[in-house]
Amino acid sequence: MQKDIQPKYNVIEVSCACGNKFQAGSTNDEIKVEICSECHPFYTGKQKNIEAGGRIDKFKKRFKMD
C-alpha cells in the first residue's frame, strides 16, 4: 500500500430525519439519512405513513360507486 494516497477514515456522527444520531466510520465528513433502525417500520413494527386507500377505493370515490 502506498503512503498518503488513502483517504482519511474517521468516526463520524450519522444523523437521521427522525432526530436519531449514531456513530459510524466513513471517509465522508457527515452523513444524513432519511430512515434508520429507530424509525424503520420493519424494526419498530409500526407503520408511519398510512396509505389513504388503495386504487379500488380511489376509483370508487372518484366515480361515487358504493
Domains along the chain?
A: 10-62 (4.10.80.400)
- Residue pLDDT, tens place only, 7-32: 889 999 999 988 899 999 999 999 99
For residue 49, name the pLDDT band (cuts at 50, 70, 90).
Answer: low
Q: For residues 6 and 11, give the distance between their C-alpha atoms in angstroms, rounded to a whole number.
A: 16
pTM exceeds 0.85, yes or no: no
Residue type, position 5, single letter: I
- Residue pLDDT, tens place only, 56-65: 777 888 887 6
